Structure 1
Amino acid sequence: MRKQFFVYGLAVLVVALAFAYIRIGPPPEAPVRLVTPPAIIASLPVWIAEQEGFFDKRNLKIEFIDLTNSKYMVETLLAGNADVLPAVSLVDLATTGGPGKFALLHSRIFSHARMKKNPPFEAILVGAGSTLNTLSDLADNSIAVYPGMTSELAVRHFLTEAGVDVMKVKFVKLPPPEHERALLRGDVQAIHVYEPFRSLSLSNGKARELFGSVYASLNEPSAIGVSAISRDFERANPVAAAQFLAAWDDAVRFIRDHPQDARKILAEKLGLPDEIAEKATWVDVTTVAETSYDTLKQTTISAVAAGIIPEGFVFERDMVYQE
């Protein structure tokens, strides 16, 4: 009789464990080291996944690393000190590491932005009372750009195409929160700024827009902003990697299905007034399955043509999109 009870109890335990395995999946093997820019809207999927419990649901242990410089993010991944870059520049992935050793060969892009001209996600702003009214007026003046190379190189190319002598323009790299303050102090006369700082500066009446999206002027939709995962991490920790990507998809779908709730989380994380969170342009990003080889390729080709990515970069050779 005892043996029958033991066998019965063991069977119940096995069924319970099997149900738990099916319901939440196997436990990931390792923590996921995640580099998150602390002050940009592109970190929203990560904040959503954290706050809505999508990481916990999949038994993921997340270790957060705060960096604001896109190139430093890539170097951290290449050094083996980070596993996922949720918001990083395609340019820095394509140019960090050197020929045959580009970061793109050591990482896999699993999501990307789809930037459009209207509404713009980023823009060139000047002070509300500025005498600068055209792009040509930027000559002999200073413009603040983001850390890393993408913002500066894109603006340089854009201004050159507009007939501006960029040799007469001073580019000043500043972290995002410093742009408006530098503009108001007169340290710079223009700023190339992303959301939510674009909406903040426009809404408070301290700045006005000189031009809309620089990135979407290169190609539309632009995938200049991407999300990447270390190939070494995927190979060593396939379950943790798969669970993270599933949590990412959960977060992207949440943003689409519950935009008001997503904007409330954005306001909370960035300390924004609700009205600014409502106005800020959210760039549509892809789920893992929606990631487009063609969009990434066209963005890369446009960036090479613009000199943002050096000549000689061959998409099919230097970027392994899918294995």
Structure 2
Amino acid sequence: MLNRRHLITSALASAALPHLAFAQSLEKSKLTLAVGGKNLFYYLPLTIAEQLGYFKDEGLDVTIVDFAGGSKALQAVVGGSADVVSGAFEHTVNMQFKGQPMRAFVLQGLAPQVVLGINPKTMPDYKTVADLRGKKIGVTAPGSSTNVMVNYVLAKAGVKPSEVSFVGVGAANGAVAAMRSGQIDAISNLDPVITLLQRSGDLKIISDTRIVSEAEKVFGGPMPAACLYAPEPFVRANPGTVQALTNAIVRADRWIHSAGPGDVIKVVPESYLLGDRAVYIDGFLAAQKALSPDGMFPTAGAQTAYRALASVDPKIAAAKLDLDAVYTNEFVKKANARKRG
């Protein structure tokens, strides 16, 4: 019996063939990519590129290693066990500050898609963000984008990160269980976890950056989210490989914006659905507009990310950083020009 992936591959073979003509010289055709929470809509373009064979169309053999959160994925690249990260854009700003320059080269997320909500069972009398003082807040992993977003929201309410307890709960069923069992009083997480908790009445949303306008209101400007980034020396030494990765993600970005929920359901692994297809469909519809349509980084994005990090870290606020060096649109422009050709 033909499996689902074979059917998808066969159905799309004719559409994929034209792209093979664009294969360029690859300095490194086999590479490892680290991601934190691959099942999340936050990283949907990565999954689409993988499942529909877009990386292979570019001549790449990509091994994707999944971690509990973006900070763990970053550690894999820093430690040398992975070449590229699919992670939150703000890590590139933070790593320049730490003297380990990273460069983002293709965007997956137009807005963070991180949702902060409280547990109605443990906080029935919640009124303002200040009520989170002294509470336990679940994040995908300490130091990840979900943690950064919460820090920023807390700071605007006059609450210091040291005045709450952060608990790493991952980005799947463990996060859902932590909320439902009352182990945490609030959660900063992403879809499909958020939609699942909201539909079952186990979450009251405080801040929702799946909505692009609300994300810009929270952060004071465009806040780039998921992207592919790598150490600056890797990007410099492997322009052909980076271009191939970019081509695949831009193609996935475009596919997502022309796809319906039913299309996505057919492509993603069954495990992504967390046992509820209706919830996954709702989550996709909530996230679709927060995903990048073309892979381009907004010019003000690096400044917004820096401002968010600086608001909770005085050392970063005092640092002189070259924000133009944390990203490039060079590869995305070529990818988009190719798709028009």
Q: Shorter-chain-normalised TM-score: which range?
A: 0.7 to 0.9
The letter of the residue matching 1:43 is Y
Q: Give the total of aligned pairs.
A: 297
Cross-structure match for 1:139: 133
TM-score (norm 1): 0.78
Partner of 1:34: helix, strand, or coil? strand
How far off is 1:142 after superposition?
Answer: 1.8
Cross-structure match for 2:5: none
Distance 1:248 1:154, change over 3 A: closer
1:258-277 correspondence to structure 2 within 5 Å: 258-260=259-261, 261-266=263-268, 268-272=270-274, 273-277=276-280
Percentage identity across paired residues of the two chains: 18
Partner of 1:299: helix, strand, or coil? helix
1:10-25 correspondence to structure 2 within 5 Å: 23-25=21-23
Distance 1:318 1:71, change over 3 A: farther
The letter of the residue matching 2:224 is A
Cross-structure match for 2:182: 186
1 CA distance for matches of 2:192 and 2:314?
24
Distance 1:211 1:30, change over 3 A: closer
1:1-323 correspondence to structure 2 within 5 Å: 23-26=21-24, 28=26, 29-37=28-36, 38-86=38-86, 88-96=87-95, 99=98, 101-104=99-102, 107-111=103-107, 113-115=109-111, 121-127=114-120, 130-134=123-127, 135-149=129-143, 150-164=145-159, 168-177=163-172, 178-213=174-209, 216=216, 217-260=218-261, 261-266=263-268, 268-272=270-274, 273-280=276-283, 281-282=286-287, 283-285=290-292, 287-288=294-295, 290-307=296-313, 310-316=316-322, 319-322=325-328
Distance 1:154 1:239, change over 3 A: closer
2 CA distance for matches of 1:264 and 1:187?
34
Gaps of 5+ in 2: 1-16, 331-341
Which deviates further from its counterpart, 73-82 or 238-247?
A: 73-82
Instruction: Report if the CA contact (8 A) 2:45-2:252 is conserved.
Output: yes
Distance 1:160 1:242, change over 3 A: closer
Gaps of 5+ in 1: 1-18
Higher alpha-carbon Rg: 1
Distance 1:142 1:108, change over 3 A: closer
Partner of 1:293: helix, strand, or coil? coil
1 CA distance for matches of 2:266 and 2:19?
33
RMSD: 3.2
Partner of 2:306: helix, strand, or coil? helix
TM-score (norm 2): 0.74
Partner of 1:252: helix, strand, or coil? helix
